[in-house]
Structure 1
Amino acid sequence: MRFESKSAPALAVAGLLTAALIALSGCASDSGSSSDPETTPTATLDVVEQGFDSLDELSDYVAQSLDGVEVSLESETNPDFNQETEPERLHVHFASTEDKVKDLEATAFIVQATSRAGFDYDILVVTGVVSAGEWAYLYDRSTVEELTAGGQIDVADIWDSAEQSFDTIHR
């Protein structure tokens, strides 16, 4: 008696479909491929019109678009803060995905929102928290105002406009 499997053609088709899906999804090994995304950031963002009179209002606004948002003033979180000698730093942390384009857009979004802060701060510190550590860009309040003066902010140039940066993730 001869045994014939009726599932052999189905297995062959499933194997071909799997190979096709792997090739289409980009999971196939390609030594020439780059890990950088092929997309470009949004050209500009419109500056939000509403003002933010408190940290909670700013935090709620930013949290609508970004995950893991924490907003704080240095004077409220650092017990050693000296108001007479140190600048007031506004810290905005969020959960970064390590995607350079998304992080550029998130930074521009935060800068445009903080330009409408009705409370005092001297330096904006935007920090992306990732599994490998964190990256940060620091902006003087005057720089934030200059970047948003025309009602729009250029996304691609946002990191180049920072007074200081600490970023080993995207470089």
Structure 2
Amino acid sequence: MRFDSKSAPALAGLLTAALIALSGCGSDSGSSAEPETTPTATLVVVEQGFDSLDELSDYVAQSLDGVEVSLESETNPDFNREAEPERLHVEFASDESRAKDLEATAFIVQATSQAAFDYDILVVTGDVAAGEWRYLYDRSTVEDLTADGQIDVADIWDSAEQSFDTIHR
């Protein structure tokens, strides 16, 4: 087999790129086999209200796996009602997909905006194999984010008062 000298550099470049990709040293070696999806632009705020923690939990569990919903006052024996804000914790099993986790967070925020029970801070946590990520929202922020009947998914994490996220960054 004979190679034209003009095609040798191109062939060498293709072979180098193939070797880098196979060795895992490429620029996206940490990404999954599936391409990252784009999150939904907006979600419409649910119209139904949630009078209890169980109603909210049942609603969120219809769309997310491994959901746990709790109030800190009910799960923390050292909770001080006079000195600490009431935290509503919503935890679910994340698959580490940034787009899906953004949508899930927006879904949770829009649902909790309709909670008829008291809470001061919403804590959304995604559990993943590598650990967890967490975003905290004041109740007033939840109300502001959903005031016009929809919620912008892409901006949901930027609106949080606090975040602890080493998975998506």
Q: TM-score, normalised by structure 2?
A: 0.82
Larger CA Rg, structure 1 vs 2: 1
Q: Following the alignment from structure 2 to structure 1, what is the Cα–Cα distance between the partners of residues 74 and 121?
A: 15
Per the alignment, residue 116 of structure 1 pairs with 114
1:60 aligns with 2:58: yes
User: CA offset at residue 134 of structure 1?
Assistant: 0.5
Per the alignment, residue 137 of structure 2 pairs with 139
SS in 1 for 2:102: helix
Residue among 137, 153, 156 paired with 2:154: 156
Q: Following the alignment from structure 1 to structure 2, what is the Cα–Cα distance between the partners of residues 72 and 92?
A: 7
Per the alignment, residue 75 of structure 1 pairs with 73
Per the alignment, residue 45 of structure 2 pairs with 47
Conservation of the 8 A alpha-carbon contact between 2:36 and 2:97: no
Partner AA of 1:121 in structure 2: Y
Conservation of the 8 A alpha-carbon contact between 2:72 and 2:88: yes
Gaps of 5+ in 2: 1-20
Q: TM-score, normalised by structure 1?
A: 0.81
SS in 2 for 1:116: coil
SS in 1 for 2:58: helix
Partner AA of 1:51 in structure 2: G
User: CA offset at residue 40 of structure 1?
Assistant: 1.0
Q: Following the alignment from structure 1 to structure 2, what is the Cα–Cα distance between the partners of residues 125 and 118?
A: 17
User: CA offset at residue 163 of structure 1?
Assistant: 0.1
SS in 1 for 2:108: helix
Gaps of 5+ in 1: 1-27
